[in-house]
Structure 1
Amino acid sequence: MSVRSLKEFVESSRQKDASPEPFELESSHLLEVKLSGRVWAKAGAMVAYRGAVKFTRQGVLEQGLGNLLKKALTGEGTQLMKMEGQGRVYLADSGKKITLLRLAGESIYVNGNDVLAFEDGIASDITMMRRVAGMMSGGLFNVRLSGNGVVAITSHYEPLTLAVTPDQPVFCDPNSTVAWSGSLNPDIVTDISLGTLFGRGSGETVQLKFAGEGWVVVQPYEEVYFQQPGAGRG
């Protein structure tokens, strides 16, 4: 690796404005949000900011009764924060790759760990798979994002999108599933014979079956789902 002067390093790594869009990737692992109003982001994802920005964790009333009940039952959920004001905020999540998606009245489901940020025009709702919760450490919760605006999702390494058709269902390791189209409602299937072949975690015999018309995004990595201290203990 060649040695660079301090001036060369500062210049090459300097923040750049290549797009007027509110969400801009400074790199594949770092998102810049040009804040003018309000944006929702994963709590703890802010790495730097400048300007007059206020950060507030998602309030109890803003989560909705349904989401609160789901969190109480499972001990899990994605913690969001509001970013309000005028300025620039830089977001990242453990060096994961960031993908920006523009929704135009559409909906997608995203693994709760993989939601990084979304514009204020996007509605969010926690969904959970109860059968998985009893089989896997921490269970499996997802966030349904719908409306008009840009969402930022994350994945470990480069994601792969697989087409789902009525004659070709797709089976996925829950720990490697990132997102899927809003038209799909996966089923939980188990197969003991696949225990040594499909996945390596505690849910290695559990798969998600996607059938119908749509797509599913997977990553070459097994995610460890968030679980609050004491959750799931008898």
Structure 2
Amino acid sequence: MPPTKEAMSRYTTDQFVAATGQKDDAHGKFELENPYTLEVNLDGRVWCKAGAMIGYVGGVKFTRQGLLEQGLGTLLKKMVTSEGLQLMKMEGRGRVYLADAGKRVQILELAAGEQIFVNGNDLLALEDGMKYEIKMMRRVAGMASGGLFNVRVTGPGMIAMTTHYNPITLLVRPGEPVFTDPNATVAWAGTLSPDVHVDMNLKTLLGRGSGETFQLRFQGSGWVVLQPYEEVYMQQSK
């Protein structure tokens, strides 16, 4: 007979440690300890989302990003958005474990010059030396609570991003635009430049305050990552 749910969640202490203990066979700088936890094998410096560290071993120093470390332009964008991306430096040697609200962790390796745009709430970590820039979606900013911003990250190097539950990736082809809910859009890449699409039929059907009224329209060639969850609530229309 297969084990019952109760048996599957009941352990001796040794069994529990064996089932949940850290893995010692890490090979890369970024490794999945489990679907919800990123292990960073640190030997130098790595950047991560401020507040994402849940534990570490070794000699590691944590420092919040200085206001001008990414340049005056990034500082001004943070002031305008009242959000921006708050990063933290991890320096030293050891293992650091990162997580964000129980979300699933996705690791991507970017080639030299390759770019990806990631929602500012969903970027968990990136290797030192990678270029990143905060990009405001001005046409959407007035609709999203606190503003909607994304981060353009350029390779080479690895990044880790998070999604609520399992993501789905939609391909975008020339002449075949893809429409997404801004609050469920995690990342995109390629020659895509999203703009705002207003669906008046949905506005009439669902009411003026519905988030589905406003959508992102992606045109060009590339792909878009979506999560089955609306992470940012839309403001009520006045």
TM-superposed CA distance for 1:167, in Å, is 2.2
Q: C-alpha separation between the residues in 1 aligned to 2:54 and 2:66?
A: 22
Alignment of 1:76-115 (within 5 A): 76-105=83-112, 106-115=114-123
Is the contact made by 1:135 and 1:202 (CA closer than 8 Å) also made in structure 2?
no
The equivalent residue for 2:79 is 72
Q: C-alpha separation between the residues in 2 aligned to 1:72 and 1:218?
A: 28
- Aligned pair partner of 1:133 in 134, 141, 151: 141
Is the contact made by 1:109 and 1:182 (CA closer than 8 Å) also made in structure 2?
no
TM-score by length of 1: 0.91
Structure 2 counterpart SS, 1:62: coil
- Aligned pair partner of 2:172 in 161, 164, 168: 164
Structure 1: where are the runs of 5+ without partners? Answer: 226-234
- Aligned pair partner of 1:56 in 55, 58, 63: 63
Which segment is superposed worse, 194-203 or 86-95?
A: 194-203
Structure 2: where are the runs of 5+ without partners? Answer: 1-5, 234-238
Q: C-alpha separation between the residues in 2 aligned to 1:202 and 1:52?
A: 49
Structure 2 counterpart SS, 1:17: coil
Structure 2 counterpart SS, 1:15: coil
Is the contact made by 2:190 and 2:221 (CA closer than 8 Å) also made in structure 1?
no
The equivalent residue for 1:176 is 184
- Cα deviation code 1:83-133 (max 9, x no counterpart): 001111000000000000000121000000000001113111000111111
Alignment of 1:1-234 (within 5 A): 1-2=6-7, 3-105=10-112, 106-195=114-203, 203-224=211-232
Count of residues paired in the alignment: 225
State the 4+ residue runs in structure 1 displaced beyond 4 angstroms: 196-202
Is the contact made by 1:76 and 1:138 (CA closer than 8 Å) also made in structure 2?
yes
Is the contact made by 2:65 and 2:89 (CA closer than 8 Å) also made in structure 1?
yes
Query: What percent identity do the matched residue pairs reach?
Result: 64
Q: C-alpha separation between the residues in 1 aligned to 2:207 and 2:59?
A: 45
Which segment is superposed worse, 188-197 or 215-224?
A: 188-197
TM-superposed CA distance for 1:68, in Å, is 1.2
